[in-house]
Structure 1
């Protein structure tokens, strides 16, 4: 009996120890699961670059300039639904939204709108017109569009809306090559000693604000996972452009996995294309370019590179610092004949209101042949990759115009202003 009692005691003690060990193991396992779940939750509920904001050395909370009555009213207009829903109640399956960004060249806008009206398939999609500033004549042209759904958005922090304060011209701002200490003025010069020009910096501000709004801010597109096509007010669009970009977006994954985008025109704006029976992969051009949300996330991760590079042109900034940071060549797929053409003789914010205004029609010198009216890309064509092209090499520091800390911070504020990256948007990401 004594032996039996001792065995029972040992047996009970063993079971207690075993139970304790099992409970401990279960607790550890549960903790691991919770940590993984929390990690996954953080991943899908935040934008990928939010985890990097502390290391970026910028504010996580945005501090936008005080708005004017006009900018507030325009921002409210950004929430209005698209027009022409009574005519085009539904968008086409696998449609590619088109974003047209404009400033104040009504002569040019007339040309691009007329060309868009003749594009096959245009009624199936949504046209978003992004305005840098508010100009009545430009607004009237857009309000007159009746060939598709149209949504207008206005950059509320455009320098063109602020006449006496940043981001416009402030009375206390330094000008040209002013010495801040001597003049007792505000501002940081660029690498060449020049202080900011609101008219110039608005180019880059508008593009970055627009991208963040279209991809992450607008309810019409923030759940769109496919490609979005971007064009400017001085781009003539051929009748086959929409069908061609749809086909290129489909072919990109299959025939050019190293391609980040699809283009309607060569990167050389003066080229009409090679005219050969091949698809062309080359560096991304800025005339009629389209990419998807996966590529946007890669770009968004490079916000600091974009916002802190001393270069006022958005496209040169992308070519010189953002794309190279991806670690591999950034190719774009296109046809061998252009489906869009750059016809402007002046830059985006030049011409209007000046003595030598840019008022050329532009369409006169662009001939549309029969081959340009329908899809002219063969899915069976091979891809010719142009590997060595002229561009901005390592060490290029930019042309300047973007040295003021306020512009860099505003640019980063645009990066933070929308945080729409939940499990639904994560599920739709694809190459």
Structure 2
């Protein structure tokens, strides 16, 4: 991507793997750093926030859980499921990395620029950062109320959408975009929503964010995003969004065809805002998996910039029995 050499790339790990470290160590086209989620279940593999051997299995009936006296027998979600460490970690890690970058990283303590969040299975067009710079200039003028830029969409795109170089106003919700670009101002607003975020019974950070920001941030989470996507999701055949009929190479080839077809419209000279905001539809139904009071307490401590020792984690665990 153009401007990648001027960009600090941060890899946030929740899994320790030498093969991954070796690949990152070969990067020579941009400055980079690595940060490490300190409460990874790979390390805490037999205690909270990992899976304690005495925790209730996900699908155990509540009466049986009580009979067994497993740790979190009283904390079943409305779908009759108990906590899963692997699912819970995704939400904790997302929160921790944003909090760490904006508040704890000495290198970035005074950073007021854009933090662009990219998942490990995203593919970015070569003009992504170029377009983001243009989009921010327009956003300051034509959408000062926009608190985030979203650089990708989740649908297929026509040639006309790229040809115009336009962006549109919208509200952020799950499925309405990929690649969040935000500033510390958003983080400061979001911190006022910490109790709502930490207590909402949904182990998905994005679903929680959608509900919380729609109700906690005045006016909702307003965004700008390009009509022609610059960020694409390649992980349709793996992970949480598995599609058995697809292969990663098939998805990549489709993305490359789209970009090649529209190559003359990348790096637009002008970006303009094409529409006003649609009607905001609020969703309030949680997906569950976040009923355990240990996750609530840990989430609040991350927000409050409280470092957690093994003793602290044990204390959080004891809250189950008080």
Same fold (TM over 0.5): yes
Structure 2 counterpart of 1:236: 123
- Hey, what's the Cα distance between the residues in 1 that align with 2:108 and 2:239? 25
Structure 1 counterpart of 2:288: 400
Q: Structure 1 residues 271 and 132, CA, compared in 2 at 3 Å: closer, same or farther?
A: farther
1:378 aligns with 2:270: yes
Q: Structure 1 residues 250 and 148, CA, compared in 2 at 3 Å: closer, same or farther?
A: same
Q: Structure 1 residues 304 and 237, CA, compared in 2 at 3 Å: closer, same or farther?
A: same
- Hey, what's the Cα distance between the residues in 1 that align with 2:43 and 2:240? 14
Structure 2 counterpart of 1:170: 52
- Hey, what's the Cα distance between the residues in 2 that align with 1:294 and 1:314? 19
1:290 aligns with 2:178: no
Tell me by how many angstroms 1:388 deviates.
Answer: 2.9
Tell me by how many angstroms 1:141 deviates.
Answer: 2.1
Tell me by how many angstroms 1:328 deviates.
Answer: 0.7
1:215 is matched with which residue: 86, 102, 106?
102
Structure 1 counterpart of 2:36: 154
Structure 2 counterpart of 1:270: 155
- Hey, what's the Cα distance between the residues in 1 that align with 2:200 and 2:32? 34
Gaps of 5+ in 1: 1-118, 420-431
Tell me by how many angstroms 1:347 deviates.
Answer: 5.9
- Hey, what's the Cα distance between the residues in 1 that align with 2:240 and 2:13? 12
CA contact (8 A) 1:240 1:372 kept: no
CA contact (8 A) 1:239 1:372 kept: no
CA contact (8 A) 2:237 2:247 kept: no
Gaps of 5+ in 2: 308-322
Q: Per the alignment, in what secondary structure is the counterpart of residue 168 of structure 1?
A: coil
Deviations along 1:140-183, whole A, 9 cap, x unmatched? Answer: 22222221011011101122322111111111111123434211
Q: Structure 1 residues 372 and 219, CA, compared in 2 at 3 Å: closer, same or farther?
A: farther
CA contact (8 A) 1:203 1:348 kept: no
Structure 1 counterpart of 2:252: 363
Q: Per the alignment, in what secondary structure is the counterpart of residue 328 of structure 1?
A: coil
Tell me by how many angstroms 1:186 deviates.
Answer: 0.7
Q: Structure 1 residues 382 and 198, CA, compared in 2 at 3 Å: closer, same or farther?
A: closer
Structure 2 counterpart of 1:25: none
1:308 is matched with which residue: 192, 196, 199?
199
Q: Per the alignment, in what secondary structure is the counterpart of residue 399 of structure 1?
A: coil
Q: Per the alignment, in what secondary structure is the counterpart of residue 232 of structure 1?
A: coil
Tell me by how many angstroms 1:377 deviates.
Answer: 5.8
Structure 1 counterpart of 2:93: 206
- Hey, what's the Cα distance between the residues in 1 that align with 2:277 and 2:93? 31
- Hey, what's the Cα distance between the residues in 1 that align with 2:70 and 2:292? 13
CA contact (8 A) 1:216 1:418 kept: no
Q: Per the alignment, in what secondary structure is the counterpart of residue 397 of structure 1?
A: coil
Structure 2 counterpart of 1:95: none
Tell me by how many angstroms 1:264 deviates.
Answer: 1.1
CA contact (8 A) 1:240 1:373 kept: no
- Hey, what's the Cα distance between the residues in 1 that align with 2:264 and 2:101? 29
Structure 2 counterpart of 1:97: none
| Greater Cα radius of gyration, structure 1 or 2 | 1
Deviations along 1:389-424, whole A, 9 cap, x unmatched? Answer: 6x543xx231001110011111111111269xxxxx
2:302 is matched with which residue: 414, 424, 427?
414
- Hey, what's the Cα distance between the residues in 2 that align with 1:347 and 1:200? 15
- Hey, what's the Cα distance between the residues in 2 that align with 1:342 and 1:309? 27
Structure 2 counterparts to residues 97-136 of structure 1, below 5 A: 119-136=1-18
TM-score by length of 1: 0.63
How many residue pairs are counted as aligned between the two chains? 291
Tell me by how many angstroms 1:329 deviates.
Answer: 3.2
Q: Structure 1 residues 286 and 132, CA, compared in 2 at 3 Å: closer, same or farther?
A: farther
